[in-house]
Amino acid sequence: MTAAILCQNLAKDFRHMHKEPGLSGSIKSFFVRNYERKPAVRDFELVIEPGEIVGLLGPNGAGKTTLMKMFTGIIVPSSGRLEVLGHVPHQREMAFRRKIALVMGQKSQLWWDIPAMDSFLLLQKYYEIPDTDFKRRLGTLTDLLDVDRLLKVHVRKLSLGERMKMELMASLLHQPEVVFLDEPTIGLDLVAQKNIRDFILAWQRDHRTTVILTSHYMADVDALCKRIVLVLAGGKRFDGPIREFESVLGKQKFVSVDFEGPVDRQLALWQGLDASWNEDSTHVELRIPEDQLRSTAAAILQQLPVTSLSMEKLPIERVMNELLVKPQLLADPQL
């Protein structure tokens, strides 16, 4: 079976101009321009099978969006091999375009000055969707997203959450085989975020669509993705099941402890456990190496007035925060 996405040694460089600040810098750059080539993505290897939902994670500027742009054929890779559904994306064959969709949370693809329904009718022609299929899919999507009353409203008059629902509809009407979701819930309130997530899950379950997601909201990734690819400085640093993601920080457990009253934060016990306290020192969250778990837990229970102690896997949000603050934690670059 053809892989949904196949990358081998994929790389992309961008040329940046350097300009000193101020008017003198502007004048200087008018005569002499200094350019620098910067790798945005390098040696990227990835295979995604049809039907997977994969989260591309990483801080701003890590190369996630550059990857998305290469996957969708918007930009041309500098080197390496890239195939999406057996097509070379930047050749932009019509057969390829009919199989994919891209939703950009920060950029509307709908026509701003007209109602969404007009855009949908246009897309029906572009994707050559037969009338009966179009009506059926439109009906299903309208019901699922509860947007019946919004179809005839000008897109520029819609709220952010409403617009995002329309963007999703526009991208799914042609039933793409691969959907690229770039920050689909950015700027949305919690309820709207959840609605969008639930919808994507339901749609994916029914259609077995391959979904590639980037998001800074770990709740999105947690709810949607079974597999995570971590991108740091243009390279892949983790690729595996979401439940193993915490292992990038080493074999550690996340322990949270409540106390009867305030406890001393300076105790030697807390050293090296990355303690995170509440304001009145009655609650602490710790990261304990697995081989010290029994001894440390026993010491806490014996020495302090513990009211509750719970152990859980490290939340993905916390793993990401840790990695962003201390990228050196990723000791093994080949991980």
Partner 1 sequence: MSLAAEASKWGATIKIAWSKYLAYKLNFLLQVLGPVLVFFFIRYNLWSAIYGLEGVKTLQGYNFSEMISYQVWVMIVGFIGLGFNGMNLAEDIRLGRISAYLIYPFGFWQFHASSFLAFQLIQLGVAGITLIAVSLAGWVEFTALNLLLGVLYCCCVALFWFQVNFLIGILAFWLEETWVMRVMMVTVSQFFSGALIPLEIFPAWLRQVLDYLPFPYLTWVPVKIFSGTYNQPLLPAFGLILLWSLIAWGCAQYVWQRGIKAYTGAGI
Give the binding site for partner 1 (CB under 8 A).
Answer: 14, 65, 69, 72-76, 92, 94, 97-98, 100-102, 104, 106-107, 109, 111, 113-114, 118-119, 121-128, 154, 182
60 vs 328, beta carbon nearer partner 1:
60
**What are the phi and psi torsion angles at 114 (to 5°)?**
-135, 160
We find the least distance from the C-beta atom of residue 53 to partner 1, in angstroms, to be 20
We find the least distance from the C-beta atom of residue 56 to partner 1, in angstroms, to be 14
70 vs 225, beta carbon nearer partner 1:
70
231 vs 300, beta carbon nearer partner 1:
231
CA atoms of 225 and 222, how far apart (whole Å): 6
DSSP 69-138: HHHTTSS--SEEEEEETTB-GGG--HHHHHHEEEEETTS--S-TTSBHHHHHHHHHHHTT--HHHHHHHH
We find the least distance from the C-beta atom of residue 96 to partner 1, in angstroms, to be 9
CA atoms of 100 and 243, how far apart (whole Å): 28
3 vs 74, beta carbon nearer partner 1:
74
27 vs 202, beta carbon nearer partner 1:
27
Pairing of strands 235-241, 210-214: unpaired
Strand partners, 333: none
CA atoms of 271 and 273, how far apart (whole Å): 6
100 vs 316, beta carbon nearer partner 1:
100
We find the least distance from the C-beta atom of residue 185 to partner 1, in angstroms, to be 16
DSSP 131-158: HHHHHHHHHHHHHHHT-GGGTTSBGGGS
We find the least distance from the C-beta atom of residue 172 to partner 1, in angstroms, to be 14
We find the least distance from the C-beta atom of residue 222 to partner 1, in angstroms, to be 24
46 vs 110, beta carbon nearer partner 1:
110
Tokens of 223: 């709810």
Pairing of strands 53-57, 210-214: parallel
CA atoms of 145 and 196, how far apart (whole Å): 8
Q: SS3 for 159?
A: coil
We find the least distance from the C-beta atom of residue 220 to partner 1, in angstroms, to be 18
State CA 135 to chain mean position distance: 31
94 vs 191, beta carbon nearer partner 1:
94
We find the least distance from the C-beta atom of residue 1 to partner 1, in angstroms, to be 24
Distances (CA, A) of 125 to 78, 129, 331: 34, 7, 52
